Structure 1
Amino acid sequence: MDTVNGRYFRGVLGHFPTSVVAITTADDEERPHGLIVGTFMSVSLDPPLVSFLVDSSSTTLRTIRATGRFCANSLAGNQERLSRQLAGGAGDRFKGVTWKASPLGNPVLEGIVAWVDCSVENVVEIGDHFLVVGRARHLRVESRRSPLLFFRGGYGDYLSTTHLVLDRLVGW
């Protein structure tokens, strides 16, 4: 059986651009919790299901499981700083972050591209992560901004990342 080196695996997969999505929830005391994922995707149209993967050690996952709900916030190209803040492990991730409550009570972040408010349908353990599947209950496009992407270990927006990829493909 072939084994794949973890560092090499991560390096190759870094060549697949991913969207940067803030997954948010609020606990029973309405305190916001959140994390950043690059694995958000549509699963089904009927019923309307979405999913994301999260590390098994995530404290936000525990809150999502306890509340049974989350909101996926598609970050805009100018929100790299917010992404880094919400991805940080220490302190108050929401310090200085402006948000409003979604219909389900989850944080909807200011300045995002779009959001999907979900109830948890299923949580499945897969390797060192959990796959969280949610049923879309409410959703909205907030702006026409370009989304924030993660590609080759760095951030960019859709337009700058597209040009970077094209430049490398055609040798510009």
Structure 2
Amino acid sequence: MTHRATRQQEVEVIDGRRFRDVLGNFPTSVVAITTTDAGERPHGMIVGTFTSVSLDPPLVSFLADRSSTTLRTIRDAGRFCANALAGDQERLSRRMATGPARERFADTAWEASPLGSPVLDGVVAWVDCAVEQVVEIGDHLLVVGRVHDLCVESLKTPLLFFRGGYGDYLSSTALLLDRLVGWDEIGR
């Protein structure tokens, strides 16, 4: 038996629950992928797989389940905006991840990006993209976007997902700087 065959057999015996439990120990960003349909109604979903792909040309990507209706809308529109959610946007993330599609933007302010996709109020940053390529990978589709515009909106801490729960990120460097400047003493 070859090494490759042995590795393939090992992958086949990995239980789905174990897979999720172990990978839950890798913190991920929480990103709202947004677009609008032909009627200019907003659509969105939450992903933890947003990443940069290339600097030249500027490309980013995310993974989406094949059954995603939002993904169908993104493919039809040919564009999307990746919104890096802030630490105080957990409720929005939960609504966009699990709520009915028609309620995902309830009480959520947004403005159109240069390409026309929703940029959500209060996010850390956004990246406006045209769909460059969609690749089938397992039970998901990899969506690659060509970046047309991007912006840092705030200095808020980002929302993260880790071990099945939400949290935000605060660097130890920021804590050290706050102590040096004396900001950690404010409010005590």
Residue among 136, 154, 157 paired with 2:168: 157
* Residue 120 of structure 2 corresponds to residue 103 of structure 1: no
Cα deviation per residue 1:46-90 (whole Å; 9 max; x = unaligned)?
A: 000000000000000000110100000000001000000111242
Q: Which runs of 5 or more residues in structure 1 are unaligned?
A: 161-172
Secondary structure in 2 matching 1:131:
strand
Q: Which structure carries more helix by proportion? A: 2
Give identity over the alignment, percent.
Answer: 73
- Counterpart of 1:168 in structure 2 is none
* Residue 105 of structure 2 corresponds to residue 74 of structure 1: no
The Cα RMSD (Å) is 1.0
CA distance in structure 2 between the aligned counterparts of 1:134 and 1:96, rounded to whole angstroms:
28
* Residue 48 of structure 2 corresponds to residue 38 of structure 1: yes
CA distance in structure 1 between the aligned counterparts of 2:156 and 2:103, rounded to whole angstroms:
27
Secondary structure in 2 matching 1:87:
helix
CA distance in structure 2 between the aligned counterparts of 1:140 and 1:52, rounded to whole angstroms:
18
Residue among 22, 25, 30 paired with 2:32: 22
CA distance in structure 2 between the aligned counterparts of 1:13 and 1:151, rounded to whole angstroms:
9
CA distance in structure 2 between the aligned counterparts of 1:96 and 1:53, rounded to whole angstroms:
27
Q: Report how many residues are paired.
A: 160
- Counterpart of 2:146 in structure 1 is 135
Secondary structure in 1 matching 2:170:
helix
Secondary structure in 2 matching 1:39:
coil
Residue among 110, 116, 122 paired with 2:133: 122
Deviating 4+ runs (over 2 angstroms): none
Structure having the higher Rg: 2
Cα deviation per residue 1:97-139 (whole Å; 9 max; x = unaligned)?
A: 1100001000000000000000000001111100000000010
- Counterpart of 2:159 in structure 1 is 148
With 20-29 and 90-99 compared, the bigger mean Cα shift is at 90-99
